[in-house]
């Protein structure tokens, strides 16, 4: 049996709190996070927009968001030598939503929650052995109601 979800979440929360501290000390890719388009963000973060779609990148996101303010998204990859995992929300004013740098030996599996103003493609970008691989999924944001 694995560790319970509850304990894992508590551990993750504690780890996140610790990780939050040194963020300011690390190199913060400000230009990439402030970019106004997906291409500009990719260019600023990776120095290129060349990426290929890959089934080795698994992006898990809802088809329709239950709450556009907190959309749960997970990205994992079976590729070797994963250096980073980034998540782009095409239609957000600042499309780059998150970027995780992975140390050697780290498991390529990250989860986060994104804020989405409207329906958009969500793109997971995995950098492995210097190359970029992507998976894309449309996540719909609706005002809801009227279901029956």
Residues that bind other proteins (CB under 8 A): 1-2, 4-6, 9-10, 13, 60, 62-67, 72, 119, 138, 140, 142-148
- Distance in Å, CB of 67 to other proteins, minimum: 7
Q: Are 133 and 126 in contact (CB under 8 A)?
A: yes
Nearer to other proteins, 9 or 106 (CB): 9
DSSP code per residue over 34-88: H-SSHHHHHHHHHS----EE-TTEEEE--SB-S-TTSEEEEEEE--SSEEEEEEE
Nearer to other proteins, 49 or 60 (CB): 60
Residue 43 exposed, middle or buried by CB count within 10 Å (0-12, 13-18, 19+): middle
Nearer to other proteins, 49 or 67 (CB): 67
- Distance in Å, CB of 72 to other proteins, minimum: 7
- Distance in Å, CB of 70 to other proteins, minimum: 9
Nearer to other proteins, 10 or 34 (CB): 10
Q: What whole-number distance in Å separates Cα of residue 69 and Cα of residue 58?
A: 22
């Amino acid at each position: 049996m694995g560790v319970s979800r509850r304990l894992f979440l508590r551990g993750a929360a504690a780890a996140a709190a610790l990780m939050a501290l040194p963020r300011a000390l690390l190199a913060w890719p400000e230009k990439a996070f402030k970019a106004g388009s997906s291409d500009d963000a990719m260019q600023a973060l990776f120095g290129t927009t060349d990426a290929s779609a890959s089934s080795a990148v698994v992006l898990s996101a809802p088809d329709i968001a239950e709450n556009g303010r907190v959309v749960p998204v997970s990205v994992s990859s079976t590729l070797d030598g994963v250096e980073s995992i980034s998540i782009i929300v095409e239609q957000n004013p600042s499309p780059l939503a998150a970027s995780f740098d992975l140390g050697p030996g780290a498991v390529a599996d990250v989860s986060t929650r994104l804020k989405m103003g409207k329906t958009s493609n969500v793109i997971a970008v995995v950098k492995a052995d210097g190359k970029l691989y992507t998976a894309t999924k449309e996540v719909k944001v609706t005002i809801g109601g009227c279901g029956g």
